[in-house]
Structure 1
Amino acid sequence: MVASAFDLLVELERLGRDFAADLPAQEDPGETWVGVGFRLGGQRFVAAMTDVAELLKYPELAPIPRTKGWVRGMANVRGTLLPIMDLNGFLGDHASSLTRLSRVLVVPIENAYTGLLVDEVFGMRHFPRESLGEPPAEVDDRYAPFVSGRVEHDGEQWLVFSMRSLIDDPQFLRVAS
């Protein structure tokens, strides 16, 4: 006897359910802290996921006259003008060298955005909440005002970079030379 199209679909659904793998268990969001990992020089940082709107490859820039050396220029990202700042340069270290690993973290500031050039981005990182701790006693003076804590996980230490502290820093807002 020929089965109807409906009967065939029902049988296919049953077979699919019989062989389907279960979805991985969802972690309780209260148990993990999510951040975006990045590198400046040899130091690993992580910023809260809520503080980073987007990650970009280094875009083409138009220069902005009469600004400090750490202001790289202005990018047009999907019709929105985005100033790009060299985070290494702002923190008093040498200007970042552009490599294939260089990325821009897009960070919200009030009703706008700014881009922060970093040496490398490691993507999203999930850490157990209990691994969050106080900043280490010895943090490079350049970074100390912007480090709000640390995360130690799987034998690695990450400094928690506070985008809010950066945005609130009067020196960061003074871009004119």
Structure 2
Amino acid sequence: MQISVQPRMAGIDAQARGLAMAAGAGAGGMVAQYVTCTLGDAEYGIDILSVREIKGWSETTALPHAPAWVRGVINLRGTIVPILDLRSRFGLGQTAVTAMHVVVIIQTATRMAGLLVDSVSDIITVGAEEVRPVPEVGMSVPERLLSGLIPREGAMVSLVSLDNLLNLPDADLAPGMPATLS
């Protein structure tokens, strides 16, 4: 039996558009909205203003000499979009992809990418005072890939730093490869 994730994603897309419009009309950055997604039991937040769409997993075309966390590329309505395995990027092993996995398409400045995650779970609204700094030690995710932590219902939502996430560390670069994904 195959379960469709499309109705859930359509609802989250509609909620995201509504919240993004409300955020644009809100009081100058006092609150922010994040799309939360899961990798195993951990929850991560992606700035809703950077989320372009959420789509079901589809196979990618591999890129030679790309870092292990770059799953490949897809053609999204004429735009070639790199798909990053967020679990692998965070050093948590590679995702064993199923039909239930989703890709969050994000846009920052002039860069677009898809983030492979286990699921998209919610949209949260938080005040700036709720965001805590990322500790410098004791984390399995490299600190530079996170921009903050939000305590929530006995757990933490780790905020993804999209700019840092899309910059390739020198150790992952193939000869002649640019330092950022575009």
- Give the TM-score taking structure 1 as reference length: 0.69
Runs ≥4 residues deviating over 6 A: none
Matches within 5 A, 1:65-84: 65-84=64-83
With over 3 angstroms needed to count, the CA separation of the structure-2 counterparts of 1:123 and 1:101, relative to structure 1, is farther
With over 3 angstroms needed to count, the CA separation of the structure-2 counterparts of 1:54 and 1:150, relative to structure 1, is same
Q: Distance in 2 between matches of 1:75 and 1:161?
A: 22
> How far off its partner does 1:163 sit?
0.8
Q: Percent identity?
A: 24
- Give the TM-score taking structure 2 as reference length: 0.68
Correspondence for 2:26 = 29
> How far off its partner does 1:39 sit?
1.6
Correspondence for 2:144 = 145
> How far off its partner does 1:146 sit?
1.4
Q: How big is each residue's C-alpha offset from its partner over 1:6-48, in whole Å with a ceiling of 9 and x where there is no partner?
A: xxxxxxxxxxxxxxxxxxxx89834532011012232211121
> How far off its partner does 1:112 sit?
3.7
Q: Distance in 2 between matches of 1:139 and 1:29?
A: 36
Partner SS, residue 147 of structure 2: strand
> How far off its partner does 1:131 sit?
1.9
Correspondence for 2:159 = 160
Which is higher, the Rg of structure 1 or of structure 2?
A: 1
> How far off its partner does 1:110 sit?
4.6
Q: How big is each residue's C-alpha offset from its partner over 1:105-155, in whole Å with a ceiling of 9 and x where there is no partner?
A: 222255341112112211422224432222256552434221221112344
Aligned pairs, how many? 152
Correspondence for 1:48 = 47
2:57–2:103 Cα contact (<8 Å) kept: yes
Q: How big is each residue's C-alpha offset from its partner over 1:46-66, in whole Å with a ceiling of 9 and x where there is no partner?
A: 121123222221123222233
Measured on the aligned residues, the alpha-carbon RMSD in Å equals 2.9
